Amino acid sequence: MQVRFEVNGKTAEVEVEPRLSLADCLRHQLRLTGTHVGCEHGVCGACTIIVDGAAVRSCLMLAVQAEGSKIMTVEGLSNDGELTPLQKSFRKHHALQCGFCTPGMLTTAHALLSEEPDCDAARVREVLSGNLCRCTGYISIVEAVLDARAAYKKHAGASS
């Protein structure tokens, strides 16, 4: 089947099997391998992407369901030049080790902060509870997200 959607600001048109997950389509057909697949059943959150502003598990969505959507993956968060404040905050707080869960953490946090730049620690924990990390023990990830809130307040509403 033919499917057409926008990824990181560019139009993508791909021929897919109806059973192909959006995660596999992004990774293997569009070569956007920043989106990671850790469990393939919606538990680990590593494949989280932003579809029309909402954080979505791309392993639980079929590529054909993305027809007409606007998608942002981890590759779309920053341009080549500089890390975004959220990415910088992850680095500063040592909020990643092996980096495998990191794209899902970033997209989930980006969607949260874009909507709720004033969220508190409890809210950050609640939202990130859907993303697993085996390396960090989470504390530094929560700190990094909280520390990045200021940047979203300034641009509240501007990010997708």
Partner 1 sequence: MRTVNTLIGSPIERIEDLRFLRGRGQYVDDLAREGLLHAAILRSSVAHGRICAIDVARARELAGVHSVITANDIGIPVPRVPMRLQPLPEFEAVGQPVIAEDKVRYVGEAIALVLADSAGVAEDALGLIEVEIEPLPAVADRVASASNSTLLFEQKRSNLAMTFRAVRGDAAAAFNNAPYTRRESFRTQRHMALPMEPRGLLAEWDPARGRLTVSGAAKVLFFNRRTLAKQLGIPEHAIELIENDVGGGFGARGEFYPEDFLIPFAARHAGRPVKWTEDRREHLMTVNHARQAECDVEIACTRDGIILGLRGHAFVDVGAYMRTNGAVGARNVAQFMSGPYRIENIDIDVSLLLTNKTPVGTYRGPGRFETDFFRERLFDIVAKDLGIDRVEFRRRNLVPQAAMPYAIATITPYESKDELDSGDYHVMLERCLEEIKWQENAKLQGKAVNGRYHGLALGCFIEGGAAGPKETARIVLEPDGFFSVYVGSSGIGQGLETAFAQIAADALEAPMERIRGVFHGTTSYVSDGYGAYHSRSIVMGGSAILAAAENLMNAVRAQAAKHLGCEAAEVEIAEGMKAVSRGGKSIALKDLAGAGISAEGAFLNKKHTYTYGAHAAHVAVDPKLGHVDLIDYVVVEDCGRIINPRTVHGQTIGSVVQ
Tokens of 90: 């992850």
Q: Please provide the distance, in angstroms rounded to a whole number, between the alpha carbons at the two ends of the chain.
A: 28
Based on CB atoms, which residue is closest to partner 1, 73 or 114? Answer: 73
Tokens found for residue 96:
């990643």
| Alpha carbon distance 140, 58 (integer Å) | 25
Q: Please pick, from the candidates 37, 42, 125, 130, the single residue that binds partner 1 as defined by CB under 8 A.
A: 37
**x-marked contacts with partner 1 along 47-66 as a string, rule CB under 8 A:** --------------------
According to CB under 8 A, which residues from 91 to 120 bind partner 1?
Answer: 91-92, 94, 96-103, 106
* Nearest Cα residue to 98 out of 22, 32, 8, 38: 38
Angstrom distance (rounded) from CA 125 to CA 109: 10
Q: Which of 48, 58, 140, 159: binder of partner 1 (CB under 8 A)?
A: 140
CB 135 within 8 A of CB 98: yes
Question: Considering the complex, what minimum distance in angstroms separates the CB of residue 56 from partner 1?
Answer: 16
Which of 41, 54, 154, 158 binds partner 1 (CB under 8 A)? It is 41
Binding residues vs partner 1 (CB under 8 A): 17, 19-20, 27-28, 31-41, 44, 46, 73-75, 77-78, 83, 87, 90-92, 94, 96-103, 106, 132-140
